[in-house]
Chain A
Amino acid sequence: MTRFVLRRLALTLLLVVASSVVVFVVGRLAPGDPVQLLMGDLRDPVVEGRIRRELGLDRPVWEQYLRFARRAVRGNFGQSYANPGRPVAGMIGQALPVTAALATAAVGLALLLGLPLGLLAAVGRGTLPDVVTRFVALGGMSIPSFVVAVVLIQWLALGWHVAPVSGWGEPRHYLLPVAALTLQPLAYVTRVTRAGILRVLPEDYVRTARSKGLSPGRVLVRHVLPNALISIITVAGLAFSYTLTGAFVVETIFRIPGLGQAAVGALFLRDYPMIQAVGLLYAAIFLGTGLLADVGYAVVDPRVRYRR
């Protein structure tokens, strides 16, 4: 078990480093020069040269990367180009909790609704709940979050004044963004729960449990759910990281000062330190949840540990 976790951990770290290199190099190769963007209309080669030297942009790319990596290991991501004097780490420290809270609420709600829905659909296969669930699931995967946002704003905010259109800081500001974000994870959780339970139901041990006289509810809770949980764990992890990184659409619409907005802004301003830090963070989130899901598998299902 320890060996399995260690191997996966090493691989994940390697991949995180690799993706940080990719983000770094792609960023430098792309057209667009942060120094020019910083200087605006000013055309002064002396000033330009000085800024370039101060930022270390006159060094070769590999040297710049090593400098970035040395500092990043100690948690220092430098200062933002676009907001001089503000450390990138602090900016992320402000934005990440906002996005994390959004994603947690959205995925939590999706699990809360999706698990019972999937269960209901699987048990009553072919009945009305199943049909409804199929529509919910396909709808969640087919309707973009910004369309949901448009509809919610139109009806709930502008029509009925149930919730504010935008703003941030109060609990009621969560209402619309979370509703818009939750539909997609809800669709996935519902589908996977249904599929997972249907896969377990024909197993021998379920029949044994039934034949020894356990009540249907008990069979479901004790024997079916735990075994269906594996696929649900993975999908919940994936849904969380997707929601976390996909939140920028909803953040843009509702003007929420989250990580997505910070990242999109940084991309356009060629704010290298911010891009690198956010890129590294996104990669860590993605690969980290992948790792957690894998370890989660191994904990839940002993069979996984011995494979490979």
Chain B
Amino acid sequence: MTGADAAAAAGVLRPAVLRRRRLLGRVRRDPAAVASALLLAVILAGVLVLPEAWPYRYDQQSLEHQFEGPSGRHPLGTDQYGRDLLTRLAYGGRISLAVAFVTVLAELVLGAALGGVAGYAGGAIDDWLMRLTDVMLAFPALLLALLLAAFLGPGTTTVIAALALAGWPGMARTVRSEVLSLREREYVVAARAQGAPPRRILLWHLLPNTVHLLVVRATLDVGPIILTEATLSFLGLGIQRPIPSWGVLIADSFQHLQSYPYLAIVPCVALSATILTLNFFGEGLAEAMDPSVREGAS
């Protein structure tokens, strides 16, 4: 990163652009990251295309075709209501990924806003906001989500709200520490000298330069979010039936585990593989950005 900064100071390239290029270059040389990126692309394509292209709907029941094994018509077989498992798997994945995406977006907005303000304003505002993140970080996301689900009633919105609420403090800390180190740079001082108001400095000069960090952080957050959503849905506190998510699929098949284990194993594999791939990709990104990450703090 110091090299990038030096080049930026020399006026060769805008720091953000330069950083992005170097980052992508390093990612491309990491085979694990490339493989996981490809696998992610496949998963995403499957989740987006399959439910549309396949002739069944996720809630289309057929009581003559319960618990069918894999066949030409149903490549993964059918569940206890004769619903096509492949369709449900793809649609459930779409829900799980969509929930995670919206959650990360909400987290980003909250985290960037509060972290940016804390870092730029400093003083008492910073102190109090950081105390708040301390307390929030001490509380596990799962517990917070459980509380909210129990009090607000379970549902997709509750899940997203709970997960975003639990996730923003980490994001805010990332933004804050970066803003803290950026706010005395020449270009910020120059903007201030020209009379730019704090809001403009924050939105135009500081936050855009934290984007690379936020992308990595967001990628690393998606895996745990999917995991927590699946756990909540598994317990009946997350996504509500008839809408499937991977957690719902596993919960539904749990009672038939003895007779039809593959009904549970298939969504288990899909869920774990997706989270694993996301974590691999996120780690690759983080490492590309800062090679000391793997050696240093985890």
Task: Write the residues of chain A forming the contact surface with B, with a CB cutoff of 8 angstroms.
Answer: 15, 18-19, 23, 26-27, 30-32, 138-139, 141-147, 150-151, 153-154, 158, 188, 191-192, 195, 198-199, 231, 242, 245-246, 248-249, 252, 264, 267-268, 282, 286-287, 290
Residue in A18, A151, A282 whose CB lies within 8 Å of B143: A282
Residue in B257, B272, B294 whose CB lies within 8 Å of A154: B257
Residue in A31, A154, A249 whose CB lies within 8 Å of B264: A154
Measured CA separation A154–B268 after assembly (Å): 12
Q: Which residues of A contact B139 (CB under 8 A)?
A: 286
Measured CA separation A199–B298 after assembly (Å): 11
Measured CA separation A267–B153 after assembly (Å): 11
Q: Is the CB–CB distance between A246 and B235 below 8 Å?
A: no
Q: Is the CB–CB distance between A142 and B227 below 8 Å?
A: yes
Q: Which residues of B contact A26 (CB under 8 A)?
A: 147, 151
Q: List 12 A-B contacts (CB under 8 A).
A: A27-B151, A30-B151, A138-B283, A143-B275, A143-B276, A144-B230, A147-B271, A150-B268, A153-B257, A195-B295, A231-B297, A286-B139
Task: Write the residues of chain B forming the contact surface with A, with a CB cutoff of 8 angstroms.
Answer: 135, 138-140, 142-143, 146-147, 150-153, 223-224, 227, 230-231, 234-235, 250, 254, 257-258, 261, 264-265, 268, 271-272, 275-276, 278-280, 283, 294-298
Q: Which residues of A contact B275 (CB under 8 A)?
A: 142-144
Closest to A241 in B: B140
Residue in B150, B152, B223, B279 whose CB lies within 8 Å of A268: B150
Question: What does DSSP make chain B's interface, helix, strand, loop or mixed?
Answer: helix
Measured CA separation A290–B143 after assembly (Å): 17
Q: Which residues of B contact A15 (CB under 8 A)?
A: 135
Q: Which residues of A contact B271 (CB under 8 A)?
A: 144, 147
Measured CA separation A192–B142 after assembly (Å): 22
Number of A-B contacts (CB under 8 A): 104
Measured CA separation A15–B137 after assembly (Å): 13
Measured CA separation A193–B217 after assembly (Å): 22
Given contacts A15-B135, A245-B143, A286-B139, whether A146 and B231 have CB atoms under 8 Å apart is yes
Q: Is the CB–CB distance between A195 and B298 below 8 Å?
A: yes
Q: Is the CB–CB distance between A150 and B264 below 8 Å?
A: yes
Given contacts A30-B152, A195-B297, whether A150 and B254 have CB atoms under 8 Å apart is yes
Measured CA separation A146–B250 after assembly (Å): 9
Closest to B259 in A: A158
Closest to A244 in B: B140
Closest to A290 in B: B138
Closest to A248 in B: B146
Q: Is the CB–CB distance between B261 and A154 below 8 Å?
A: yes
Measured CA separation A195–B294 after assembly (Å): 7
Measured CA separation A264–B224 after assembly (Å): 22
Measured CA separation A199–B142 after assembly (Å): 31
